[in-house]
Amino acid sequence: MSSTRPTERLAVRKTYKLYVGGAFPRSESGRSYVVHDAKGQFLANAALASRKDARDAVVAARKAFGGWSARTAYNRGQILYRVAEVMEGRRAQFVDEVAAGEGLRRAEAEAAVDESIDRWVWYAGWADKVGQVLGSTNPVAGPYFDFSMPEPTGVVAVLAPQQSSLLGLVSVLAPVITTGNTCVVLASADRPLPAVTLTEVLATSDLPGGVVNLLTGKVPEVAPWLAAHSDVNALDLTGTEDRELATELERAAADNLKRLVRVTDHTQDWTAAPGIDRMTAFLETKTVWHPMGI
């Protein structure tokens, strides 16, 4: 019996899809673009989102908002902690993708991934404490109880940081959903793979479909449709590196009175303690009066 030499295995080239409503559809336009690593080598193809994809993502986020915001804060915290657990199981893949996309040494990529996982745990712990910290019982001159309570704003469009493909992404995404909002996220255009892998984690972490919707593509092409969309309640411009574009997006957001997180510093240190500012940015305060003795 003659032996045959094993042939070299062909690489399976991937075309990553969007994440909308808990499913992984292709872009309705059928377009994709090539993603390279920091050295210019081919990594994969990613879907190039269009206006229609952005609109579909907003519809999915709005549909999921009622159920997600109605869940107990404790349950939302459990789900966020589950995200951290599943990410820990896929740590090696995240390290490979962060190292390739951002051109980091392996030790640096491992530190970024570990910090990203820890950040989910941090926000999971805050989920059932935000109401206690930001809520209040107000003194009034009358036979009434008067309570002020934080409530989620609604659908938030998030432009993720362009340079920090995972830690920056988690740092802007986690606070939005911790407090009961749903979101549409536009991932880093040149480094989208960690974001796409994160959606695979979210899809298997008990997070309801539509709470997080991820688009990949070009900020100047997709962001204006999100900024002008009347069913988007808030906009995070962190990933907008073009100042002229940021100004245009602010004007579009002002037309329908969106809450806005403006671009401040593109060299932000994402390893720093996050604080609660990004959670409070997308909260409303509801005040309730209730007669005593009833």
pLDDT in tens, 136-194: 888 888 888 888 999 999 999 999 999 999 999 999 999 999 999 999 999 999 999 99
Q: Give the pLDDT confidence score for residue 289 in this predicted structure.
A: 87
Please say if the pLDDT value at position 245 is more than 80: yes
User: Tokens 């935000």 sit at which residue?
Assistant: 130
Please say if the pLDDT value at position 88 is more than 70: yes
Q: Give the pLDDT confidence score for residue 6 in this predicted structure.
A: 65
Q: Give the pLDDT confidence score for residue 2 in this predicted structure.
A: 54
Q: Domain 21-291, what fold?
A: Aldehyde Dehydrogenase; Chain A, domain 1 (3.40.605)
CA dihedral sign, ordered 192, 197, 198, 202: positive
- For residue 135, count other CB atoms closer than 10 A to its CB: 14
Q: Give the pLDDT confidence score for residue 142 in this predicted structure.
A: 86
DSSP state of 160: -
pLDDT in tens, 207-226: 999 999 999 999 999 999 99
Q: Give the pLDDT confidence score for residue 125 in this predicted structure.
A: 97
Q: Are 210 and 22 in contact (CB under 8 A)?
A: yes
pLDDT in tens, 27-59: 999 999 999 999 999 999 999 999 999 999 999
HEC secondary structure over 213-246: EEECCCHHHHHHHHHHCCCCCEEECCCCCCHHHH
Q: Give the pLDDT confidence score for residue 42 in this predicted structure.
A: 93
C-alpha distance from residue 42 to each of 11, 39, 45, 46 (Å): 12, 9, 9, 12
